[in-house]
Chains A and B, each alone.
Chain A
Amino acid sequence: GEDVEQSLFLSVREGDSSVINCTYTDSSSTYLYWYKQEPGAGLQLLTYIFSNMDMKQDQRLTVLLNKKDKHLSLRIADTQTGDSAIYFCAVTATGTASKLTFGTGTRLQVTL
């Protein structure tokens, strides 16, 4: 099955940029997503990118997709303390468009 990997932890200073990385194994993944989970809450969809795109920008968020390396990244510009959360990437599995496989999650800590 699909494997989706992320680094476990990232610490950045307020005002800096954060870059959260994700690698996946299924090269035919069609839709790729970033979710945010704050403590005690559900997952909130932040943004998504289709596999025929290389980049998508949405306000402070920039998603980059390298299909050759099966690498997805999320850049958060001007990181704020309110951005502290766990970030999950998720991809669709081959042949089952509605089944999302989630990465292991990256805990982002924003320090003053």
Chain B
Amino acid sequence: DTAVSQTPKYLVTQMGNDKSIKCEQNLGHDTMYWYKQDSKKFLKIMFSYNNKELIINETVPNRFSPKSPDKAHLNLHINSLELGDSAVYFCASSQASRFYGYTFGSGTRLTVV
């Protein structure tokens, strides 16, 4: 009964490849997020969707493209992967009208070689 689930948990790929990470939440939340955690554990927001609408789009290379087919899913597609994209990517969700914080997925560790 995982609340926020991400797949895959680990992803190792070569530079230049295109990859996707999927996220699903079963909490009935209306807002979903992607965060990137670097090797120093610093967390930075990348994108946020509310009811399938993009509401936060931080300064992220346009090689990163989020897609939300419905409010329970938020996927992240990355084109032309670079070494610097190696990080842990976390999906999270929240209910905007009852803002008691985010529920996080367990993360996807992306390693670009």
Which residues of chain A have a CB within 8 Å of any CB of chain B? 31, 33, 35, 37, 41-45, 48, 86, 88, 90, 92, 96-102, 104-105
7 A-B pairs besides A102-B42, A105-B41 with CB distance below 8 A are A33-B101, A45-B101, A98-B31, A99-B48, A99-B56, A100-B45, A102-B35
Summarize B's interface: helix, strand, loop or mixed.
strand
Interface size class of B (residues with CB under 8 A): 20 to 34
Decide if A42 touches B94 in the complex (CB within 8 Å).
Answer: no
CA distance A99 to B102 in the complex (A): 10
Segment among B60-68, B73-81, B104-112 that sits at the interface with chain A: B104-112
Decide if A43 touches B31 in the complex (CB within 8 Å).
Answer: no
CA distance A88 to B37 in the complex (A): 12
CA distance A74 to B56 in the complex (A): 29
Decide if B101 touches A44 in the complex (CB within 8 Å).
Answer: no
Given contacts A42-B105, A48-B101, contact A98 B42 (CB under 8 A): no
Decide if A44 touches B104 in the complex (CB within 8 Å).
Answer: yes
Decide if A97 touches B99 in the complex (CB within 8 Å).
Answer: yes
* Nearest CB in chain A to that of B90: its residue: A42
Contacts of B40 in A (CB 8 A): 104
Summarize A's interface: helix, strand, loop or mixed.
strand
CA distance A100 to B4 in the complex (A): 18
Contacts of B43 in A (CB 8 A): 43, 88, 102, 105
Q: Could you tell me the distance in whole angstroms from the C-beta of B47 to the nearest C-beta in chain A?
A: 11
Let me know if B13 is at the binding interface, CB within 8 A.
Answer: no
A41, A96, A100, A104: which contacts B101 (Cβ < 8 A)? A100
Decide if A98 touches B41 in the complex (CB within 8 Å).
Answer: no
Decide if B96 touches A96 in the complex (CB within 8 Å).
Answer: no
* Nearest CB in chain A to that of B31: its residue: A98
Let me know if B50 is at the binding interface, CB within 8 A.
Answer: yes
A31, A43, A86: which contacts B90 (Cβ < 8 A)? A43
Decide if B90 touches A105 in the complex (CB within 8 Å).
Answer: no
